[in-house]
Structure 1
């Protein structure tokens, strides 16, 4: 029996309980307390329960050492309040953000919804975060960096699209010495017009500005939407090559609503007209298709972080076989609970059948 999935999750997900964002805030406050107090006994217990280590899981990429290929996706710990705890929950890396140059409250509530029938979530958060300076301060205070930390950068809601590069550049300047890799988020559906920045004519000045500033050659990635067509992805890949990007994150949430069992959300109305992006199981197949396409189009030379709909070992193996070098989870972790991480890692290690040598920058299964 999975204690979380079979007993605790049904209580948390029932209509009698708090809404998803309230529960998320409560989780982060608890983890922040553990981080601040460094409650050694609790952290040791978490490590015994949720950490799984095996040399064959290590991935070496961008000059960084990832103890395992499974990371926490951006969006859960936007402000990095629990950076000292995620390693004890078994993650091989964590991505914070999306962060903007100035604090912003995000979109009006409610803005996060569960879709249990679809093992999915709808979010229209709108880059709510405390700003780049606050995140920088937390990164400086971090006692020990046990796993690589990525920083996801976004544009402020009120910044005109034509000035988007200034926002990405401003946050990067504040955080460039503190992140291990950086992600240009131009694919969230929750900031008006942001997805249009994926077009080559808008994306190119952003990449040019960041790489000119990136004297330390920090790994710089772009996170793309699952709703792009192949020519649009080809254009991004051309820019990735031209500007020496370190990789692609595939993918963000989707605007598609087809093939969903959920039709109506209390307090929101019909799902077909609701703003926001869908994450979770409905994203699995499309994100894997895009991973495979990028891997083939680049001859496997451009590293990919695969994210979208990872709930099972088969889901993880599928993305790695398609060409992902690293994986990220978020919605699957919420549905399956923290035991998802060691369960996946044990399965990935077993799939290696004792082979403990992983080529640098390559997937751990093939």
Structure 2
């Protein structure tokens, strides 16, 4: 139905208008009593896909990436579609409008998107209200992580304050935090990824989380555009960081890219971060490198170009315990999580794995 009816209509609209229309519909669907529970039951993944990470059950390794549900308005529906978890945001302490429109572009011939949204969101206070309301209604069907960032007008030397304010506003209603220092759409943000800056920032955020709710996982999201040496230094800095004996919980590899290599669509000249199919090979290679560097010390979440079960499986074999999608959901529709889950089960059986955790990093191991 999505491919035949909804997608052609949505793709006639401006990309951001279509996004808002979709989000409004998803939020309304989540308020219909019993609907998301029924969808969740019908979309329940096979038990071989379930993992326990950071003390929580993740019924599928497939999750929703940040950027789609910026204000946690449609958590009820998204967590019912077969996702093992959902990442909401990026959220900043204070509301901000983001960059001027137009700022979101489809590249259908490349199966990609370019965005320069600029962390447009309603602020951490509104997100906390939304998540609390959904908790009270009992409609969250999977863990929900919050992707936190800094406001555009906050100088980098004061960035930790914004991330800590986000934690303080949301720690009661989040199932984990992702520290976003890798978006290309907030000026100067990526400079916080340098190993020294990253250790200082993440250390302060980690100390706050460990004080308020120590069991919450804290992950760090990195860019695909760093040089090899810079990437390795940042990965090592995150892996080695400890606060009161506790460290970072995992890595998210990776964010959108500024590269335009191999693109064919006219929108390739637009400024912003590129997501979708063109990132598939690059992000899988980065996952493999991160897996080699950290040698099992931290779980990795793989993001970029996942359109099929085979794409997700490639990232799992490279070392990702969890995998996220966003752009492919725009192109493939809400049935995508169930299709990927079913395909993963078949691929695991084909290769003789009894459980998805057995396949994590298997591409780097002799068999």
Matches within 5 A, 1:188-267: 188-215=183-210, 216-217=213-214, 218-243=216-241, 244-262=247-265, 264-265=266-267
- Change in Cα spacing, 1:177 to 1:47, as seen in structure 2 (3 Å) is closer
Q: Which residue of 1 aligns with 2:45?
A: 53
Matched pairs, number? 350
3-state SS in 1 of match to 2:257: coil
Deviations 1:156-192 (A, max 9, x none): 0000111111111111111122211111101101111
Q: Deviations over 1:35-89 (max 9, x none)?
A: 23x243x44664476x142110101111111011111000000100011111221
Q: TM-score, normalised by structure 1?
A: 0.90
Match of 1:24 among 14, 19, 27: 19
Structure 1 residues 231 and 122, CA, compared in 2 at 3 Å: closer, same or farther?
Answer: same
Distance 2:110 2:152 in 1: 30
Query: Which one of the candidate residues 269, 280, 283 is aligned to 1:284?
Result: 280
Deviation at 1:8, TM superposition (A): 3.7
Change (3 A) 1:167 1:26: same
My pick for the range that moved more, 302-311 or 142-151, is: 142-151
Match of 2:94 among 87, 102, 105: 102
Alignment partners' CA distance in 1, 2:204 and 2:41: 44
Give the Å deviation of 1:356. Answer: 4.9
C-alpha distance in structure 2 between counterparts of 1:364 and 1:203, whole Å: 26
| SS state at 2:129 partner | helix
Deviation digits for residues 261-316 of structure 1 (CA, Å, limit 9, x no counterpart): 11x33xxxxx33x3200000001111001000000111122211001001112111
Name the counterpart of 1:87. Answer: 79
Secondary structure at the aligned position of 1:98 is classed as strand
Offset at residue 355 of structure 1 (A): 5.6
The 8 Å contact of residues 57 and 356 in structure 1, kept in 2 or not, is answered as no
Verify the 8 A CA contact 2:310 2:343 in the aligned structure 1: no
Q: SS of 2:76's equivalent?
A: coil
Once residues 4 and 310 of structure 2 are traced to their aligned partners in structure 1, the CA distance between those partners, rounded to angstroms, is: 21
Contact 2:71/2:121 (CA < 8 Å) preserved in 1? Answer: yes
- Give the conservation status (yes or no) of the 8 Å contact 1:249–1:305: yes
CA contact (8 A) 2:183 2:223 kept: yes
The equivalent residue for 1:268 is none
Gaps of 5+ in 2: 242-246
| Separation in structure 2 between the aligned mates of residue 241 and residue 298 of structure 1, nearest angstrom | 7
Work out the CA distance in 1 between the residues paired with 2:79 and 2:154.
35
The range that moved more, 213-222 or 291-300, is 213-222
Q: Which of 95, 98, 106 is residue 114 of structure 1 equivalent to?
A: 106
1:138 matched to 2:130: yes
2: CA distance between counterparts of 1:154 and 1:194? 9
Name the TM-score, length of structure 2 as normaliser. 0.90
Cα distance between partner residues in 2 of 1:121 and 1:342: 23
Q: Does 1:363 pair with 2:357?
A: no
- Secondary structure in structure 2 of the residue aligned to 1:352: helix
Does residue 324 of the first structure (1) align with residue 316 of the second (2)? Answer: no
